[in-house]
Chain A
Amino acid sequence: SAVISQKPSRDICQRGTSLTIQCQVDSQVTMMFWYRQQPGQSLTLIATANQGSEATYESGFVIDKFPISRPNLTFSTLTVSNMSPEDSSIYLCSAVTGDTGELFFGEGSRLTVL
């Protein structure tokens, strides 16, 4: 298993600003992902955070809006840039350990954009 810590756990942000969410895993993991859960919706994959290279983004998500870093095997950041109220959501860091396919999640970062 893996313990995933995210910060901040919640924040209230002004329109047009940017916020960086940090994710720390307590063990080396093979894959790290960032998900978003908008109110009343399912978890949607934003991107796969690749160690030492550019993240792989899903359809509808772009690097300029959601820059991601993963400098090593246990740490990643997601920035939500130039925020608008539509970006109000829970952002979840997740990781896969080994090859079982079990995906572990952080507790999430709840962002509210005014």
Chain B
Amino acid sequence: DQQVKQNSPSLSVQEGRISILNCDYTNSMFDYFLWYKKYPAEGPTFLISISSIKDKNEDGRFTVFLNKSAKHLSLHIVPSQPGDSAVYFCAASAGTASKLTFGTGTRLQVTL
């Protein structure tokens, strides 16, 4: 049972445009959500998080939106840069100190 789903395995976006990565979850106990970026041959690195008490969190070019009623979150990257090309994992937990459940990842390719 995949509790965190990233239905798009890949996404291609032109440099300078907006990248939107989507994530859906099924467990209503999840109240903390994170995005991780992973380059080949490296471990995932933390990008941005959001608590369920918020519906938006912004950090520079990265914004995460949370729609609790739809159990959906999205990561917006604007403007997209070639260095953003990586695999992006959505993750969720019930509480900030709880174990994370990851999605299967979306491979983002930012083209020139």
Contacts and interface: CB of A to CB of B under 8 A. Distances in A.
Same complex for A and B? Answer yes
Contacts of A104: 45-46
A102 B2 CA distance: 22
Given A41-B104, A42-B89, A43-B102, A100 B43 contact: no
A106 B103 contact: no
Interface residues of A, number: 26
Interface of A: 4, 6, 30-31, 33, 40-45, 48, 92, 94, 96, 99-108, 110
Contacts, number: 61
B97 A102 contact: no
A41 B110 CA distance: 22
A99 B93 CA distance: 13
B34 A102 contact: yes
A43 B44 contact: yes
Contacts of A33: 99
Given A41-B104, A42-B89, A43-B89, A105 B43 contact: yes
Interface residues of B, number: 26
Interface of B: 2, 4, 32, 34, 36, 41-46, 49, 89, 91, 93, 95-105
Contacts of B36: 103, 105
Contact of B100 (A40, A41, A103): A103
A105 B49 contact: no
